């Protein structure tokens, strides 16, 4: 859980940074970190699934509104983690 929360926090920070650059007209930054595949797999979802990738993308977009402080970032990471685990249980029930 701790590693996944750490990865989610780093992905949130990276996405917020690159969204800010995009707003300034600086896009096509191919050198940004791409943690989504790792996070999706580590959460127990299928990183080859378009549905799981779309779910994660939209989930992250909804949670990029955190304030620039550690508490707000951590709360967003916990929210993302909670929703990922709920999606895992819904999509891949135990034993399947």
pLDDT band at 96 (very low <50, low <70, confident <90, very high): low
36-70 per-position pLDDT tens digit: 999 999 999 998 999 999 999 999 999 988 888 89
Q: How far apart are CA 36 and CA 56, in angstroms?
A: 7
pLDDT in tens, 16-36: 988 888 888 887 767 778 899
What would the mean pLDDT of 63-92 be, rounded to a whole number?
Answer: 92
pTM equals 0.87
Gap between the Cα atoms of 58 and 41, Å rounded: 17
């Amino acid at each position: 859980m701790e590693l996944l929360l750490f990865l989610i926090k780093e992905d949130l920070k990276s996405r917020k940074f690159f969204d800010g650059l995009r707003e300034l007209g600086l896009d096509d930054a191919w050198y940004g970190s791409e943690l989504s595949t790792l996070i999706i797999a580590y959460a127990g979802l299928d990183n080859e699934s378009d549905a799981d990738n779309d779910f994660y993308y939209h989930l992250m977009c909804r949670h990029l509104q955190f304030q620039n402080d550690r508490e707000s970032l951590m709360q967003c990471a916990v929210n993302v983690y909670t929703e990922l685990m709920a999606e895992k249980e819904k999509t891949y029930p135990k034993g399947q």
